Amino acid sequence: MTTLKKIIVGAISTIFLLAVVIGIVHNVIRSPKSDHHHIGSSEEKINVAAVTKSIDSLCQLTDYKETCIQTLNSVSTDNKTTDPKLAVTASIKSTLAEYGQFIAKSKNIGNGTTDKLNKQALSDCQELLAFANSELQDALDSSEKGDAENIRRRSKDLNNWLSAVMAYQVTCIDGLTHPELKSEMTNGMNKATELTKNALAIITEITKFLDSMKGALNLKDNVFGAGGRKLLNSGSIGDRYPYWFGAAERKLLQAAQTKKVTPDAVVAKDGSGDCNTIQQCIDKIPAVREGRYIIHVKAGVYHENVIIGKKTKDVFMYGDGARRTTVTASLNNVDGVTTFNSATFAAMGSGFICKSMGFSNTAGAIKHQAVALRVQSDLSAFFNCRMDAYQDTLYAHAHRQFYRNCVISGTVDFIFGMSTTVIQNCLIIVRKPMDNQQNIVTANGRNYKYQESGFVIQNCRIVPDRFLSPVRTKIRSYLGRPWKENSRTVIMESQIGDLIQPEGWLEWNGDFALKTLTYGEYNNRGPGADVSKRVKWPGYHVFKKNDVLPYTVDSFISGSSWIKYSGIPFISGLKN
């Protein structure tokens, strides 16, 4: 973008922000508890007259301006103005409506396909589109409550839901290998993609504005904290849940600690429990229940593929140790299984917490994509767990995730996905790949600038395994590469071994994403942490302290508002 264009866009943005605040301030002062902004008084009419181009100004900040104008005009009384709440709600509602139409049409795509892999990928698309529809409904329900202040309070949740929708779009299309099918699905989803991106842009820009104007809006400082708001209730000591959480979300955070719980179900291979397999116990979880459902998986090697469905929420599962309680399987891409379906263990329902278990995919490097653990669960956490495979070991697919004191091993892109994830105090083991391969620790799939997603690796150790160690100077290993256009990965306060190449990071394909990615390192140590010979890409940065603060547990995944209730220790900010 040229300097002149930046100045023009900046000026337009400023006009919009200054104009809209007039109406918002009046609304907050007039009725803090009001759920709607009514236009009626002469003062309000004067204020509206002062913002004759507010829709145009806001839509200048989106990628698809005409689509944006059409969307916002639908909730405007004069086709020129709209308040922030209505803008956000309208953008989500239009996206949801488009998805509803496309889901019906998409069922006819590839009806005659006989190819096993693409047939499965089309089935994945139907499941993923249903997920997207559900996420959008959650976002709409949340945005329709309260006033503009509610939008500000729930902005991270709204971004989280919409970012997941984008993850499902990408997963659907990437799973298709037949060019015609991929093209038909992509083209059919174009409008939905445009609307999703616009909604993310609108939510982000309006939230920035509301956060920056907290004084003018007469909001108390104690409702703000890391990332724009204080996450804990400012009321009584005993009520420490985020004040913006509802009753259902409070239940989600009531995670019991293993030392104090009586499990609802026990899995044991020897028949001494309630189930012989993990999946049996998951399938028996009541659809309607109170609080968190607790499953103890006794020591043993469980040869099965496990799926915790999206509707199965608030599960706490614990084993007898990451090497003693292990789930293992070997589904893989070479044998005709999509990456999405190759996972040995898949956790989708929100609020999944796991302790002291191991997950492995034993397909081997020769089978390429073979996932050990796929996580789509929002507000999920793993403690003292282990994930072992080669390519694509940990699929941190979508939503907010936290990993602590875990072991993650692999070769190619073995930590990948589109989630908002912090990996803390973990041992990351790089294995020996096939002769024609290089090792890449991360491949983040953030594909739009307004998504808050990305990977953060903090206070971890990155080391070679015993087979790679003797040849670590001959086999090239890298910290990451950009899977998608806005890939984002930050490595901080970690020990990096000498297996990592001096340039640190690897291109995906030529200059793809090198200007739009965000890769950063901060205060790392070890022979592989020397940044003097790192890549010179526009998107790569050696961060200073202030640069890295947005990537701490508290700021990046609002960790203090939910991880503490899982009983899992964590560093909320920087270690030093």
What is the torsional sign of CA 340, 460, 433, 438? positive
Q: Are residues 326 and 359 in contact, defined by beta-carbon separation less than 8 angstroms? A: yes
CA distances for 78 relative to 49, 75, 147, 448, 467, angstroms? 10, 9, 21, 31, 69
As a three-state string, the secondary structure of 1-52 is: CCHHHHHHHHHHHHHHHHHHHHHHHHHHHHCCCCCCCCCCCHHHHHHHHCCC
In sequence order, which ranges of 284-393 are alpha helices (DSSP H)? none
- Catalytic one among 320, 413, 465, 530? 413
Which tokens go with 168? 């499902």
Which tokens go with 164? 């997941």
d(CA 371, CA 346): 9
Question: Whose CA is closest to 458, among 489, 492, 407?
Answer: 492
CA distances for 423 relative to 257, 279, 353, 389, 557, angstroms? 21, 27, 15, 17, 11
Q: Are residues 182 and 171 in contact, defined by beta-carbon separation less than 8 angstroms? A: no
Q: Specify the residue for token string 């955070």.
A: 253
| CB count in 10 Å sphere of residue 361 | 30
Amino acid at the residue 221: D
CA distances for 254 relative to 142, 288, 319, 550, angstroms? 21, 16, 19, 27
Tell me, yes or no, if 413 is annotated catalytic. Answer: yes
Q: Are residues 118 and 111 in contact, defined by beta-carbon separation less than 8 angstroms? A: no
Rg, the chain, Cα only: 24
Question: Whose CA is closest to 499, among 520, 523, 522, 529?
Answer: 529
d(CA 77, CA 60): 20
Angle ∠(419,424,429) on CA atoms, nearest 5: 90
Q: Are residues 105 and 131 in contact, defined by beta-carbon separation less than 8 angstroms? A: no
Burial of 80 per CB tally in 10 Å (0-12, 13-18, 19+): middle
Phi, psi (rounded to 5 degrees) for 480 = 180, 170
Question: Whose CA is closest to 439, among 474, 405, 466?
Answer: 474
Catalytic residues: 413
